[in-house]
Amino acid sequence: MLWISVSGALQLFDGDQFVDMTHLVHTSNVAGHFGYEHGKEVFFLKDNILYKFTPAQYISNDAPSYPLPAYNRREPIAKIIYEDRFFLYISHPNDSLYQIEKKSMTSTHVYSFPHMPNFSYRWSSIYISPNPVSAIPYFDTSMLRCTFDLTTGITSVDESCPGALRGAIASGDSMLVLQTNSLDIYSRKGKYTISLPAPGRQFNGQNFLLAGRDSVYVSLKDGIYLFNLRTLKWVSKLQQTGGSTFYNLGWVRSMVLDKTGHLYYTTFNSGMVKMYPPNNGFQYLGVQGKKNYFIKCIRVSEKNNLVLAGTLQDGLLVFDTNGILKHHIEHFKDTQSLKLISSILKISDSRYILMANKTLELNFSGDQYTLTELEDTERNRLTYYDNAIEDDAHHRYFIFNHRELTEVIPDSPHPVHTIKLPNFFASSISATKSGDNYVVSAHDELSFITRI
């Protein structure tokens, strides 16, 4: 599961679909910031409210929270600047540093903290110390390297450190700084300057991503590089295949590495991309090529080497799992255009149902495909997002489109069947399967529907 904060909303990505989870953080357009994405617990700071998400929140209607003092939104915002095994450390515009216990979600200490962190402090995922720390390293508003001592409450400043806008913290206290032509490493043993892999690479965005204690991903203009912190050498480069060059995608905003080794990154203009280190494969979850193909839904068949991406205005993109575009399906019945694809049902590794301006069945045989229109006279098609449930155990497939429940019975003479439901489904925002029940999350309630 991947938690995503975008345009003031909160989403959960399960590898196939995006599910709106904004109800967990109440109604607000204020942007939020995550902790450092380690472990089953995810911490999210939205304005002055700290939330904790655990697997229980996947089917919950609320989340544990802790309120920090409110502040004027025109001031610098509160930030999670460090995390150890037991505590979060949050800087606040009231010149305080809050120590929050992660387990109980309570404030255990408040420090005077007038020497505030850099305005763009959230550079990277930061290594979490396995034990409570006694000092917190950070960069201040002058981009100088600082250390805050939790015992004395004194901040020490390293005046010899050059201004650092792009950096990360590794192993608890080592600082990584990406300069124009070098990667600088500051540790207890001193300073190391590492040349970039080739001339003219330079930075691309403000993000690093630690891959365990030994390695770090670094975003440069022509790709994402892996650097070994033990040997102090560049190891490899991740370069996209089958689409636009990395440089044309714009600056990287954030990167996340899941436990299986898949790398997700987002840019300023292109949405989200999923890559497969150490292979060159990728899935576009935002755009591809020179045109902005806003992708609404993704389905993957590793067995058949297929990645299906449904778009907002440009039909269906079909890649192989190395990211090579195999088909761009924009029409059915010769000239009828295929527009918004709001959901894709996976019936098998080679058989899919596309929920678009029409309902279409797509079948693959090797690299060839057939596209057939299914009758769907009762379905409300004016929907932006369709939320799919695939109950493979009982061969039942459902679509929730915020207005109604549609069941798809692929081999029936009438394959698309609209089910009339109580009024609360008019505000349905997501649905999933839990055991033998279908769970629907609406704006003001969570409902469990027994299979019928």
pLDDT tens digits for range 282-310: 555 554 555 556 667 777 777 788 878 88
The answer for residues whose C-beta is within 8 angstroms of residue 167's C-beta and 6 or more apart is 123, 124, 139, 175, 176, 177, 178, 208
Q: How far apart are CA 27 and CA 360, in angstroms?
A: 36
Topology, domain 384-452: Thrombin, subunit H (2.40.10)
The pLDDT of residue 229: 84
Q: Which residues contact 198 (CB under 8 A, 6 or more apart)?
A: none
Predicted local distance difference test score (pLDDT) of residue 266? 67
Token pair, residue 47, equals: 């304005």
pLDDT tens string 307-346: 788 877 788 988 876 667 789 898 887 667 887 888 888 8
**What pLDDT is attached to residue 67?**
93
Q: Where in the chain is the domain with CATH 2.40.128.630?
A: 1-114
- Which residue ranges does the chain devote to CATH 2.40.10? 384-452
pTM exceeds 0.85 for this model: no
Mean of per-residue pLDDT scores for the chain: 76
Question: What pLDDT is attached to residue 243?
Answer: 41
263: pLDDT confidence band, cut at 50, 70 and 90?
Answer: confident
Q: How far apart are CA 357 and CA 312, in angstroms?
A: 11
The answer to whether 229 and 240 are in contact (CB under 8 A) is: no
Instruction: Tell me the CATH architecture of domain 256-374.
Output: 7 Propeller (2.130)
pLDDT surpassing 70 at residue 20: yes
The tens digit of pLDDT for each residue in 128-151 reads 677 788 888 888 888 787 889 999
pLDDT confidence band for 242 (50 / 70 / 90): very low
Instruction: For residue 134, give the DSSP letter.
Output: S
d(CA 412, CA 394): 15
pLDDT of residue 110: 95
Helix and strand numbers (H, E) in the chain are 0, 44
Which whole number is the average pLDDT over 26-43?
70
Partners of 225 in beta bridges: 218, 237
Residue from 161, 169, 238, 249 nearest 197 by CA: 238
Tell me the pairing of strands 32-34 and 295-301: unpaired
CATH 2.130.10.10 in the chain, residue ranges: 256-374
| CATH 2.40.160.100, domain 1-114, yes or no | no
Q: Which residues lie closer than 8 Å to 87 by C-beta, 6 or more apart?
A: 99, 100, 101, 102, 108, 132
pLDDT for 358-379, tens place per residue? 889 999 998 899 999 888 777 7
pLDDT band at 66 (very low <50, low <70, confident <90, very high): very high
> Quick check: helix, strand or coil at residue 58?
helix
